[in-house]
Chain A
Amino acid sequence: MRRTRVTALAAVVAATSIVAAGAVSAQSPGEGWKVGLVTDVGTLDDRNFNQYSWEGAEQGAQAIGGTATAIVTQGSADYNKNIQTFIDQGTQVIVTVGFALGADTVAAAKANPDVFFIGVDQGVCIDENGDNDGTFTCAGDPAVLLPNYQGVIFAEAQPGYLAGIVAANVSKSQHIAVIGGAAFIPAVKNYAEGYAAGARSVNPDIKVEIQYVSDDLNKAFNDPAGGKAFAEQLLSLHPDIDVLFQAAGKTGNGVLQAACEAKAANPDVWGIGVDVDQFLSTPENAACILTSAEKKLSNAVSAAVQAAADGTSVGGNSLYSAANEGIGLSPYHDHEAAVSADVQAAVDAAFQAMAAGTLDPLGATAP
Chain B
Amino acid sequence: MIQRLRDQLLIPALAVVMGLFVGAIVMIVTSPLIDGQFQLDLPLKAYGALIDGSVGSFNAIIQTLVEATPLVLAGLAVGLGFKAGLFNIGAQGQFLLGALGAALVGGWLAGASPWVAIPLALLAGVIAGAIYGFIPGALKAFTGAHEVVTTIMLNYIALYILAYLITGPLRDPFATFARTVDVGNAALPLLPETRNGHIGILLAAAAVPIVWWLLFRSTLGFQIRAVGANPDAARYAGMRPRALIILTMSVSGLLAGLAGAIQILGLTKHMPIGYASSIGFDAIAVALLGRSHPLGVLLAALLFGAMRAGSGLMQVRAGIPVQMIDVLQGVILFFLAADVILRWVFRVRARGTGIGQESTVTRSYGGQTSI
Contacts and interface: CB of A to CB of B under 8 A. Distances in A.
B49 to A, nearest CB: 10
B53 A85 contact: yes
A77 B308 CA distance: 12
A99 B176 contact: yes
Interface stretch (B101-109, B289-297, B311-319): B311-319
Contacts of A86: 316
B214 interface: no
A84 B316 CA distance: 12
Kindly name the residue among B167, B278, B322 whose own CB sees the greatest number of chain A CB atoms within 10 A.
B322
B272 interface: yes
A74 B276 contact: yes
B63 interface: yes
Kindly name the residue among B63, B177, B263 whose own CB sees the greatest number of chain A CB atoms within 10 A.
B177
Interface string A210-225: 0000011110001000
Contacts of B313: 85, 89
Nearest to B196: A80
A275 B275 CA distance: 25
A218 B163 contact: yes
Nearest to B309: A81
Given A216-B178, A217-B178, A71 B312 contact: yes
A36 interface: yes
B59 interface: yes
B6 interface: no
Contacts of B276: 41, 74-77
Contact of B174 (A6, A135, A184, A216): A135
A153 B9 CA distance: 54
* Contact residues of B: prevailing secondary structure: loop
Given A77-B263, A85-B312, A99-B176, A6 B57 contact: yes
B312 A218 contact: no
A140 B277 CA distance: 34
A81 B263 CA distance: 14
A69 interface: yes
B169 to A, nearest CB: 14
Contacts of B267: 77, 80
Interface in A132-157: 134-136
Nearest to A13: B57
A37 B261 CA distance: 30
Nearest to A83: B312
A109 to B, nearest CB: 15
Interface in B165-184: 167, 172, 174-178
Interface in B46-97: 53, 57-59, 63
Nearest to B173: A135
B59 A71 contact: no
A217 B272 CA distance: 11
Interface residues of A, number: 33
A9 interface: yes
B177 A99 contact: yes
B273 A218 contact: yes
B274 interface: yes
A184 B177 CA distance: 10
B195 interface: yes
Contacts of B263: 77
Contacts of A100: 177, 272
B316 A81 contact: no
B321 interface: yes
Contacts of B175: 134
Contacts of A9: 57
Kindly name the residue among B263, B313, B316 whose own CB sees the greatest number of chain A CB atoms within 10 A.
B316
B160 to A, nearest CB: 11
B31 interface: no
Nearest to A73: B322
Nearest to B277: A75
Given A75-B276, A75-B277, A216-B163, A70 B315 contact: yes
A72 B59 CA distance: 20
Contacts of B196: 80-81
Interface string A192-210: 0000000000000000000
22 contacts: A36-B316, A70-B315, A74-B276, A75-B277, A76-B272, A76-B274, A76-B275, A76-B276, A77-B263, A77-B276, A80-B267, A81-B309, A84-B195, A134-B175, A136-B176, A185-B176, A216-B163, A216-B178, A216-B273, A217-B167, A217-B178, A217-B273
Q: Which 3 A-B pairs have the closest CB atoms?
A: A85-B312, A75-B276, A135-B174
